[in-house]
A and B are shown apart, each in its own frame.
Chain A
């Protein structure tokens, strides 16, 4: 017993240390922010705050409603095309907001029948791009749930819609909350789509102050505001999740028996999912294909092969490290009491900070170490190390939040039973937590890999000589306003992103807990 107690506190401690490492770049940004005696004036401050509020409300709210509704339909109902939609609805995840914005600015540009511009155009992009976060987290939460309650509701005579709304929504609550928190943080940190459509946000303010105003402290203070926003969102999410104690459910597992939507309601569900698929994937991706075809022989496909290889390398390398960190931090949070919870929160803060800001925070840490004579120049090894660190600082939240939601499936009773049977911390994690949270682990791995494959600003700043990803390639062409040529690397980003989606969707169906 004494040995077990020591192991548990060791696990707690390592979780806390890991969380600290993960949030160190965020802390560096906060340190810069408070290096001035008071607030540094930045232009259009309240407009920026209001602008970010609008994007969170309309873009984030849209993602919550669209992604949540899609997940509930696909997760609990049977209607025409549901098998196909279960994975097409994830597709927008492979396209970062900046690529969707770039496609939609062409589709809805000057002279087009439907003109998309201004802050609400950015909101639309965010709702489409971030809906899959809510969709994935909600589906993972639903799969981890016993659906007995849903069946009981139907048996008791509730209509399909009523059963889904009154029983399905509460069951999906942890997923909805976690998905919304992720979507909102991603939206708060995004620069590309907001800048593209001329939406003023805190993040566009960060870059205005930093790049144009040569005011790094003011920029860091704005970035600190984003970190505070992330803290608020996470606190809200925890509260929302804690207020609904349905995670305990039944411990009997049976195959899901979906509610059949017949006739009009079935076709309405089908139409809704089809519309989301068309707007989130078919239309923008089709537009990119069209552009690439039009650009034809001006596209240097052979030159994109090394970029694709570097992208995959960074995705696997950064993804593995980030996923591991996310899993351990989430595990420490689930089993490590208050310290673990604090660690999870701290490690998640970086998700709402723009990647460029985190990268510069890391650079200043590196500068301190270099001046102390502890490290050398930013060669290939160190550059890669810092880059992976930046990915981890930024994306641990994206992995840890779904895992934390999935681990709620593991009840105190189960842990107690395992402990009674003599299982230590690692044995319990291995034989209880991992299998039960498997769908959430898969979702987390997919999200983290996708995020890194398409990550731009940190990669741009920290990459070693000769490392070029598809995202940096697309950026170089887009920055040079060669939009047609930029379509080719953008399409390859999508293609690489689709691989784990296929694996995930194949996995989520099979990974139903209790079937192992």
Chain B
């Protein structure tokens, strides 16, 4: 009886071990012609919009898209260790800094497709074709018009004003959006001015260490805890599109400005993709990349995800167009990655947690 108890106890474990060992064969071979074609994507974008685009791609080409999602840094670690055995064909990620890192680590290869290069402005792609941007986001100032005027927050420099002491909400400095923002500023103004700016904002933060994501900062402004928040533009657009009572109330209490229109222009970041160095299905990966920057996908992305199209010949979705045209900060995107570590060090010296 006890023997049976023990068998009951351990047999699932033995079965599990067996299953694992049985599954331990080599990685799946690349898809051959005649079989179902497939492209395997490592992505650090978690948007439902991407899934919809991949589905549209499969429908248009018959090529199946398999994805694994994880953070940019985790995917980088995985790619490095997998080396030439990696099953990944296309790497999709947010933030130009991550694309720069992938390039530096030698994890990408040139796409070599003229159509892609023609579709995307030179500023938003790697000169060697290692990566291509496919959507843009602006880092904007959201504010409470009931307590503050747009003119008072027309520039990121205004976030350091003493009258905003304790009234600025922004997420942690180690967040990649904030890192790229400061990296870009270092490139433009030099480290001393960038440090002074970070110090000024850190002194005005409501909470330090900050808590929560961009949406949490928006809720805090709407609830009156802060007067301004530093966020990506689409989080506010999502609140405006939402039908939930809390979001509707928050959206009604919030407005936004594209900062620095009279100065350097608004900080812009991109999502982008590149062909994996050891892609097993290279042609399919290039086809997917071409599709992501196609007129059709660019139009859908804006409508699905409130991001700005990378193409200049595609009109932004209505909610985006309603924000009006704005001037973009003109800093080489490679600086975001090259200066990321420096930016973190400056934030830390400034005491912005």
Chain A positions within 8 Å of B, measured between CB atoms, are 43-44, 105, 109-111, 117-118, 195-200, 207-208, 210-215, 294-295, 316-318, 320-321, 323-324, 327, 356, 359-360, 363-364, 366-367, 370-371, 376-382, 384-385, 388, 430-431, 434-435, 441, 457, 460-466, 472, 475-477, 479-484
Contacts and interface: CB of A to CB of B under 8 A. Distances in A.
Given A110-B223, A484-B244, A381 B77 contact: no
Please classify the interface of chain B as helix (H, G, I), strand (E, B), loop, or mixed, using the class held by over half of its residues. Answer: helix
A111 B20 contact: no
A108 to B, nearest CB: 11
Interface in B199-230: 207, 209-216, 219-220, 222-225
Contacts of B12: 316, 320
Contact of B222 (A110, A207, A294, A323): A110
B235 A481 contact: yes
A472 B87 CA distance: 20
A472 B44 CA distance: 12
Nearest to A477: B46
Kindly list the 3 A-B residue pairs having the minimum CB-CB distance in the complex, ordered from nearest: A379-B27, A381-B23, A377-B85
A77 to B, nearest CB: 31
B276 to A, nearest CB: 12
B32 interface: no
Interface string B331-353: 00000000011001100100001
A213 B85 contact: no
B353 A198 contact: yes
B68 A465 contact: yes
A440 to B, nearest CB: 13
A124 B68 CA distance: 34
Given A198-B172, A200-B353, A370-B81, A481 B214 contact: yes
Nearest to A379: B27
A321 B16 contact: yes
A366 B52 CA distance: 34
Contact of B46 (A318, A463, A480): A480
A324 B13 contact: yes
Contacts of B212: 105, 196, 198
B220 A110 contact: yes
A384 B78 contact: no
A457 B83 CA distance: 22
19 contacts: A109-B219, A110-B216, A196-B212, A212-B174, A212-B344, A214-B341, A320-B15, A363-B81, A370-B85, A377-B87, A379-B25, A380-B28, A388-B20, A430-B5, A435-B2, A435-B5, A457-B74, A461-B74, A484-B244
Contacts of B74: 356, 359-360, 457, 460-461
Nearest to B207: A198
B340 A316 contact: no
Contact of B16 (A117, A210, A316, A463): A316
Given A118-B211, A212-B174, A363-B81, A465 B87 contact: yes
B23 A385 contact: yes
Given A111-B219, A434-B5, 12 more contacts: A111-B224, A198-B209, A213-B345, A321-B17, A323-B13, A376-B25, A379-B26, A381-B23, A430-B5, A434-B9, A476-B69, A480-B48
Contacts of B210: 198
Contact of A214 (B15, B70, B340, B353): B340
Contacts of B214: 481
Contact of B353 (A44, A371, A484): A44
Contacts of A381: 20, 22-25
Nearest to B214: A481
Contact of B344 (A213, A363, A367): A213
A370 B25 contact: no
A434 B6 contact: yes
B69 A211 contact: no
Interface of B: 2-3, 5-6, 9-10, 12-13, 15-17, 19-20, 22-28, 40, 46-48, 66-74, 77-78, 80-83, 85-87, 101, 172-176, 179, 207, 209-216, 219-220, 222-225, 235, 238, 244, 340-341, 344-345, 348, 353
Contact of B85 (A207, A378, A457): A378
Most buried by B among A117, A197, A434: A117
A430 B2 CA distance: 6
A458 to B, nearest CB: 10
Given A197-B211, A212-B174, A481-B214, A385 B70 contact: no
A201 to B, nearest CB: 10
A378 B73 contact: no
Most buried by B among A105, A316, A377, A384: A377
B20 A211 contact: no
Contact of B77 (A323, A363, A376, A484): A363
A376 B46 contact: no
A484 B215 CA distance: 12
Contact of B19 (A317, A463, A481, A482): A317
Nearest to A389: B20
Most buried by B among A197, A198, A463: A198
A209 B57 CA distance: 38
A199 B40 contact: no
Nearest to B24: A381
A213 to B, nearest CB: 5
B108 to A, nearest CB: 17
A105 B212 CA distance: 9
Contact of A212 (B28, B77, B216, B340): B340
A461 B12 CA distance: 26
B19 A376 contact: no
B24 A385 contact: yes
B87 A320 contact: no
A22 to B, nearest CB: 14
Nearest to A381: B23
A196 B211 CA distance: 6
